Amino acid sequence: MEKSEKFSSSWALILATLGMAIGAGNIWRFPRLAGQYGGAFLIPWMVFLILWSIPLIIVEFSIGRRTRQGLIGSFHQFLGPGFSWMGAFVAFCTMAIMFYYSVVTGWALKYFLSAATGNLQTSSSSDYWQQFINGYQPVLFHLMALFIGCLVIYRGINRGVEKANRILMPSLIVLLIIGAVRALTLPNALIGLNYFFEVRMDYLLDYQVWLEGLSQSAWSTGAGWGLILTYAIYIKEDEDVVLNSFITGFGNNSASLLAGLAIIPTIFSLTPTLIEAENALKAGNDGLSFIVIPQLFSKLPGSALFSSIFFLALFFAALTSLISMLELATRIFIDFGLPRTKALPLVGLLTAVLGLPSALSYSFFQNQDWVWGLGLIISGSFFMFAILRFGVNNFRKEFVNIIPDNSRAGIWFEVFLKYFIPIEAILLIGWWFYRSIKWNPHHWYNPFQTDSLGTCVVQWTLLVLMLISLNRLFIHLLKKARA
């Protein structure tokens, strides 16, 4: 088995975990929701950072540091061989996201190149998007983004992941700051700020806004995806996992606020009426980024420059997250006994092929985003199940608080894991299923409907059955690699 590298310093680790956490969701999802619901959304978003994300990040860091194996090996070691399939479910869920995330990273790359060369057709941005998304170009850019990601992972942790994040993360923050300064100096930027921060009581008392805040916290920080567990394989034994978890969570949310400052005032400043601004925020993630933003930026002097900055930031954010997903998948095969040089081409080929349907069909992409985005809540629940089975108190003492000088997880950690996170997971799944039934009142059970409850249940069930039947193979491969 490959001898594991280690992150060269705590700072290198922090940059890598921030790169993992700060992704497209910070730039295209957070501003959309914060602009729609304002301060009433920010309150649950902050509350669930503490009640969902940080405890799960601590769990992932602690398991990875102890087991020094990827997801399947970790669940195998932590819960027993019979539960290896659970680790495989979490791994597959994140890998399924990786297959289409590479496509999204490609979209951002394409739009950056078009903006930088002055070819972004902003007058008819909707037609330009439709033409692009229905053509062959998404395949090309999916492969380009994937190739860049693979190049980084091929060089390993120190020369690849660390070096890439050392360049990309500070660049991303600088780009977001430039975007925020420009947005805040636009006329009527204060109207946008008002929408961003005003707490409307009707929204604050709306349970849906609270569940939107919880969803954003669950998806945006990367908690429960297995990505932090994978990076934790490479941390030093005495690394302060509690402190690093807080830095990852708060750093991720700080970047979201910066993205909000760059986007929300721009929308409210450049749309002619408030109703149009509100409609722009309801355009969906990709609708906002690839149709509304290019249209709005075209009204600015130096529009090519500001469009380029926005899409470069989106590309950098997506790429650093894609890198962590590629490492997660590669690590699984390394644990099965393959050297990195063989595991990575396998992962690259798998991603290239399984990303193709999303690159070629927008509705397939939407289906996968729905099924596996929601699947992450199941992933988080598997982590929670693992800790509850092991004993939260034992876990805190034997896995988290093991270095005397480090920050400690207090009794709050146990309370959150035992009581809050299980309730949050049930509420989240229940609410999204309820929404799905409301969206498709006559076809909610149809497995071929893009965003139905049926498509989730069928795809998850098939995956679980397949992974349970492969459990023996996982055990065999892990044992063989160790021998």
* 49 conformational bin, left if phi > 0, alpha if psi -120 to 50, beta if neither: alpha
Our CB check for other proteins shows the closer of 235 and 257 to be 257
Asked if 212 contacts 33 with a C-beta cutoff of 8 angstroms, the reply is yes
| Rounded CA separation 343/427 (Å) | 38
Residue 234, phi then psi, degrees to nearest 5:
-105, 15
Our CB check for other proteins shows the closer of 200 and 435 to be 200
Binding pattern to other proteins, positions 391-430, x when CB under 8 A? --------------x-x-----------------------
Size of the site for other proteins (CB under 8 A): 27
Q: Does 36 bind other proteins (CB under 8 A)?
A: no
Our CB check for other proteins shows the closer of 30 and 336 to be 30
Nearest distance in Å: CB 300, other proteins? 22
Nearest distance in Å: CB 46, other proteins? 6
* Structure token digits, residue 246: 């807080």
Asked if 82 contacts 296 with a C-beta cutoff of 8 angstroms, the reply is no
Nearest distance in Å: CB 83, other proteins? 33
Binding residue (CB under 8 A) for other proteins from 2, 5, 36, 39: 39
170 burial (CB, 10 Å; 0-12 / 13-18 / 19+) is: exposed
Binding residue (CB under 8 A) for other proteins from 62, 253, 295, 452: 253
* CA-based end-to-end distance of the chain: 9
Binding pattern to other proteins, positions 174-203, x when CB under 8 A? ----------------x--xx-xxxx----
What lies within 8 Å, CB to CB, of 410 at 6+ separation is: none
Q: Tally the residues of the chain.
A: 483
Our CB check for other proteins shows the closer of 254 and 303 to be 254
| Binding segment (CB under 8 A) for other proteins, from list 25-33, 38-46, 156-164, 281-289 | 38-46
Q: How far is CA 143 from the centre of its chain?
A: 20
Our CB check for other proteins shows the closer of 14 and 467 to be 14
Helices (H) and strands (E) in the chain, counts: 27, 0
DSSP for 453-475, written as a single string:
HHHHHHHHHHHHHHHHHTHHHHH
Asked if 223 contacts 60 with a C-beta cutoff of 8 angstroms, the reply is yes
| Binding segment (CB under 8 A) for other proteins, from list 144-152, 253-261, 340-348, 413-421 | 253-261
Binding residue (CB under 8 A) for other proteins from 139, 184, 243, 475: 243
- CA proximity to 357, closest of 69, 160, 99: 99
Nearest distance in Å: CB 249, other proteins? 9
Site of interaction with other proteins (CB under 8 A)? 9-11, 14, 38-39, 42, 46, 190, 193-194, 196-199, 240, 243-244, 246-247, 250-251, 253-254, 257, 405, 407
